[in-house]
Amino acid sequence: MLTTHPVARRRTEVIDDQGFHMRPAAQFVETAKRFDAEELVRCNGSEADGKSILGLMCLAAGAGMALDLEAQGPEAEEAVLALADLISARFHEAGVPKGA
């Protein structure tokens, strides 16, 4: 019998003025690896594994660009919520006012 896993999707936007560079990509991967799910990130027609720093960097997602997050697996919903929250919190950068 084939087991199907839930799929969750969320659209978010890169709000960091420097875009989705190396440090945020590393934080994204670290967060993605906490979940029992396969995560994909789509941006401007390209797609990357959410657990691959190199793949995420190849998206070249700049400030203001939309990111479509998709996860499939037992913790899919939790994964996309945590990843979207991380992006909207500007990767918890020091000195960035909340809500800015």
Q: What percent of the chain has pLDDT over 90?
A: 74
Q: Quick check: is 5 catalytic?
A: no
Collect all residues with Cβ–Cβ distance below 8 Å to 48 and sequence separation of at least 6: 40, 41, 42, 55, 56, 58, 59
Of 9, 12, 15, 21, the catalytic one is 21
Higher pLDDT, 3 or 85: 85
Q: What is the pLDDT of residue 96?
A: 43
Residue 98 pLDDT > 60, yes or no?
no
For residue 95, pLDDT over 70 is answered with: no
Three-class SS state of 7: strand
Indicate if the pLDDT at residue 99 is higher than 50. Answer: no
Please name each of the domains of the chain with its CATH number.
7-92 (3.30.1340.10)
Q: Could you report the per-residue pLDDT of 56-66, keeping only the tens digit for each? A: 999 999 999 99
Token readout for 70 is: 């998709």
